Structure 1
Amino acid sequence: MEQVWRDWGGVLLAVLAGLPLLVLVTAGLARLRRDVPAGQAWRRSVAEVGAVAGTLPWVWMILTPRDAPRQVDPVPLRDLADLFTGPPVTAVVQVVGNLLVFAALGFFAPVRLAALAGIGRLFLLGAVGSVLVETLQYALDLGRVSSVDDVLLNATGAALAGLLSRHWWARPAAALAGPAAVTTTRRG
């Protein structure tokens, strides 16, 4: 864990220092939304700020250059198998870290956008984001391993986090309007 703090302590401190600013940004966004009810304005603002602020630090970490040659591992589950033959702490940090990369996006995206409300959609969203990040790692020659296992873990993390927010997922406009909207559209 000491190595994790050495490598990423600055990022973690920057995130903690930025929390008051995130609260102000969320409140400002909610106040700007005069076209929707106050509760809905807050919900949208929290979801947008949460998705961005909860994802960017992880992306920052994994796009930080290392002094190593770049590598590509396109074989599924090979990196994971290798990980579990090494020190348990390394395996836990790598697996949990990869699950968390797009977890905030997976948690908040369906709260904000009904079109993303679905485990398969969230998995796909996480996979697309992860493929983009892995491609950047390789293209920018950051000394990192671009691995299909990272894509699988990142996408799984987005989907699992989405399950945690299922109660708050956005609903299509007709469902949000309530029963009155349904009865007025019936013809009989």
Structure 2
Amino acid sequence: MASFGSYVAPVLVATATATIVALLAERHFAHGRGWLHRGFLDGAAIGSAAAIYFLALTKNPSSAIDPAIVDLAPGLRADQIPTTPERALSLVPFGEIGDLLSNSVSASVPLSQIGGNAVLFLPLTLALTARLRLPVARGVLVGIASVVLIEVLQFALGLGRVSSVDDVIVATPGIVLGAVLGRLLGRQRNSSSGPTRIRT
């Protein structure tokens, strides 16, 4: 899963909400301005892709020994310092989610982790579906393929993150919502940019 601090998930939710609101507002007020519509969608796609890279494709700090821990506990051997392996794979559905719910000290931890991963791919799926005018099913497939690609890269690059089937499960509701909203925006664009019929 992508690593979310206690503050990152609310920021991500706010970003996704702001993206949807901005796109809806642009669709309503910018009739006939195709370049503005495309600019909003391209910006949303680039911004969400950057967020995904930062949260899911950067090195996990806990995969290496933190010198600060060694300084605080000089008598601690290196093999006694908890670290995350560079490559970890979880193929049991809901296994990682169950561990997160049962072993977390605070309820905010699973909330931020699961909630953050649930909306992580929503803006990207929304933007790509609307920009490419994809059907909902294709938008969902693009979103799920994006999650699978991220998990493969996490494992291949040895980023110290767990490549988990639960990431696909958790991200799917947000992907579906993004594809539906993106399809609605695409339809509105088609109807607003179509030829004007003159009644005779």
TM-score normalized by the length of structure 2: 0.64
Q: How does 1:11-50 map to 2 (within 5 A)?
A: 39-50=33-44
Match of 1:109 among 123, 128, 143: 128
Contact (CA 8 Å) 1:110, 1:170: kept in 2 or not?
A: no
Indicate the residue corresponding to 1:59 in structure 2: 53
Query: What's the CA shift for 1:171?
Result: 6.4
Is 1:159 aligned to 2:176, yes or no?
A: yes
Judge conservation of contact 2:143–2:175 (CA < 8 Å) in 1.
yes
More helix by percentage: 1
Matched residue SS, 1:54 = helix
Map of 1:1-188 to 2, 5 A cutoff? 4=5, 39-66=33-60, 67=63, 68-69=84-85, 70-87=87-104, 88-114=107-133, 116-118=134-136, 120-170=137-187, 176-178=193-195, 180=197
Structure 1 residue 38: Cα displacement: 5.5
Post-superposition offset of 1:95:
0.9
Instruction: Output the aligned Cα RMSD.
Output: 3.1
Rate the CA distance shift 1:160–1:64 in 2: closer, same or farther, 3 A: same
Cα distance between partner residues in 2 of 1:125 and 1:147: 18
How many percent identity over aligned positions? 28
Structure 2, gaps ≥5 residues long? 16-30, 64-83
Shift of 1:93: 1.0
Cα offset, 1:167, TM superposition: 3.7
Q: Distance in 2 between the 1:177 and 1:161 partners?
A: 24
**CA gap 1:180/1:80 in 2 versus in 1, 3 angstroms:** same
Instruction: Give the number of the structure with larger relative contact order, counting CA–CA contacts within 8 Å between residues 6 or more apart.
Output: 2
TM-score normalised to structure 1 length: 0.67
Pairwise CA distance, 1:162: 3.3
**Paired positions, count:** 151
* Distance 1:157-1:145 versus aligned 2 partners, 3 A rule: same
SS of equivalent residue, structure 1 residue 4: coil
- Please give the alpha-carbon distance, in whole angstroms, between the structure 2 residues aligned to 1:59 and 1:159: 21
**Superposed CA offset, 1:95-117 (max 9, x none):** 11111221111222222121x23
Q: Which runs of 5+ in 1 are unaligned?
A: 17-36, 182-188
Q: Deviations over 1:101-147 (max 9, x none)?
A: 21111222222121x231x3222111101111111110011111000
Aligned to 1:28: none
